[in-house]
Amino acid sequence: MPCISVVIPVFRNQGSLIPSYKQISAIIKKDLPEYDFEFIFTDDGSDDNSFNELMQVRELDPKHVRVIKFSRNFGQFAAINAGMHRATGDIAVCISADLQDPAEMIPQMVRKIEEGHDLSIAHRVARNDDFLKTITAKMHFRLMRISNPNFPKGGFDFWMVSRKALNAYKQLTDTVRTNQVDLLSLGFKVAFLPYERRVRMHGKSQYNFSRKVKASINQLLSTSYWPLRMASTIGFITTMVGFLYALKIIHGYFFRSVPFLGWAPIMVVQLILGGIIILMLGIIGEYLWRIYHETKRRPIYFIDEIYEGELQKDESIDLDVTYEKGSRTT
């Protein structure tokens, strides 16, 4: 019997975990009776009641529910990665725990996989966010489409992969990367399904401004060189403008037409050039930091406990990092 692995990252999602499990499992049982299923919840260092609620979910269905508990908060990417590396299904789907993604689309996404697609991506065409969040999101995704033309305009966090695509995904071992860019870089056949993101019913988003900026920078720089190319272009244009202005000054000097210049124009030029130089150094520094981070080859997460099978914790988990062919596990 084919199996669907449902991977759900959890961070401060109390109140929505039991409803999420009940809703998704009911949909699979009703609309996909030919499939077995498993849930893999990754508690990403939550400091609320999320973990206790996950234990309640396990009590409801210990056969189909596994819980991975991180030693601390490592971020959404690490939580998803941990779940995907332990998914045993023929199909794996990643969905958020806040009930903003329409779980009723899962059967439609499965049918796309059955039709021969290896990736089924549900992308946002509308979002019920405030004006500022909507504008900044649109700006970010426009930048993403410069180096990834097939990147959906509204972005996506709700996606499904076949076993072939999942095995390819697991071979990516970069430590600084994002799921969205990784999936689209695999090169497999993709089906895009639009949806409107719902209003959050429980809790609030943990993606504050600084987290969003960090995620945006990681997405832009993880597989793209265009910021460096932009810096080079700006530097070239600035140099040419400066060279032409220098010729004008030399011409004025010989023909005695140099007017008296005050300190304001000099300060303006210095500020503009100084800002451009700092911008270029900052872009280069971002890439250098990522190179340095990659050379250390540190694991992207550590697992405290894994709860699976019978209602007792598995204490045989080896926290040492092991390297297999093309993948890293903890």
The answer on pLDDT for 316 being more than 50 is no
Q: What is the pLDDT of residue 79?
A: 95
Higher per-residue pLDDT: 199 or 183: 183
Q: What is the mean pLDDT of residues 95-108?
A: 92
Structure tokens at 71: 């030693």
| Rounded percentage of the chain residues whose pLDDT exceeds 70 | 69
- The model's pLDDT over 249-306, given as tens digits with 9 standing for 90+, comes to 666 666 665 555 555 566 667 767 777 787 777 778 777 777 777 787 888 899 999 9
CA 235/CA 204 separation, integer angstroms: 43
Q: Which of 27, 72, 20 is CA-nearest to residue 41?
A: 20
CA 179/CA 45 separation, integer angstroms: 20
The answer on pLDDT for 241 being more than 50 is yes
Winning range, highest mean pLDDT, from 2-16, 184-198, 221-235: 2-16
The answer on pLDDT for 327 being more than 70 is no
* Interhelix angle 209-222/131-147, nearest 10 degrees: 10
Which of 10-19, 85-94, 180-189, 206-215 has the weakest average pLDDT? Answer: 206-215
Winning range, highest mean pLDDT, from 121-130, 225-234, 238-247, 254-263: 121-130
Q: What is the mean pLDDT of residues 182-206?
A: 79
Q: What is the pLDDT of residue 319?
A: 32
Order of strands, sheet of 3-10, starting from the edge strand that comes earlier in the sequence = 190-197, 119-127, 158-162, 91-94, 3-10, 36-43, 65-70, 303-307, 313-314
Higher per-residue pLDDT: 215 or 96: 96
The answer on pLDDT for 1 being more than 60 is yes
Q: Which of 137, 131, 167 is CA-nearest to residue 153?
A: 137
Q: What is the pLDDT of residue 279?
A: 74
Q: What is the pLDDT of residue 40?
A: 98
Q: What is the pLDDT of residue 23?
A: 95
Q: What is the pLDDT of residue 201?
A: 58
- The model's pLDDT over 29-49, given as tens digits with 9 standing for 90+, comes to 999 999 999 999 999 999 999
CA 90/CA 101 separation, integer angstroms: 22
Average pLDDT, the chain: 80
Greatest Cα pair distance, the chain, in angstroms, is 92
Q: What is the mean pLDDT of residues 206-229?
A: 61
Question: How many Cβ atoms from other residues are within 10 Å of residue 155's Cβ?
Answer: 17
Q: What is the pLDDT of residue 322?
A: 31
The answer on pLDDT for 246 being more than 80 is no
Q: Which residue has the tokens 């590396």?
A: 85
Burial of 236 (0-12, 13-18, 19+ CB in 10 A): exposed
- Residues sharing a CB contact under 8 Å with residue 37, sequence separation 6 or more, in sequence order: 3, 4, 5, 6, 25, 28, 64, 89
SS3 string, the chain, reads CCEEEEEEEECCCCCCHHHHHHHHHHHHHHHCCCCEEEEEEEECCCCCCHHHHHHHHHHHCCCCEEEEEECCCCCHHHHHHHHHHCCCCCEEEECCCCCCCCHHHHHHHHHHHHCCCCEEEEEEEEECCCHHHHHHHHHHHHHHHHHCCCCCCCCCCEEEEEHHHHHHHHCCCCCCCCHHHHHHHCCCCEEEEEEEECCCCCCCCCCCHHHHHHHHHHHHHHCCCHHHHHHHHHHHHHHHHHHHHHHHHHHHHHCCCCCCCCHHHHHHHHHHHHHHHHHHHHHHHHHHHHHHHHHHCCCCCCEEEEECCCCCEECCCCCCCEEECCEEEC
Q: What is the pLDDT of residue 158?
A: 94
Which of 77-86, 174-183, 205-214, 239-248 has the weakest average pLDDT? Answer: 205-214
Q: What is the pLDDT of residue 203?
A: 52
Q: pLDDT band at 144, cuts 50/70/90?
A: low
CA 317/CA 330 separation, integer angstroms: 9
Q: Which of 84, 96, 17, 100 is CA-nearest to residue 54?
A: 17
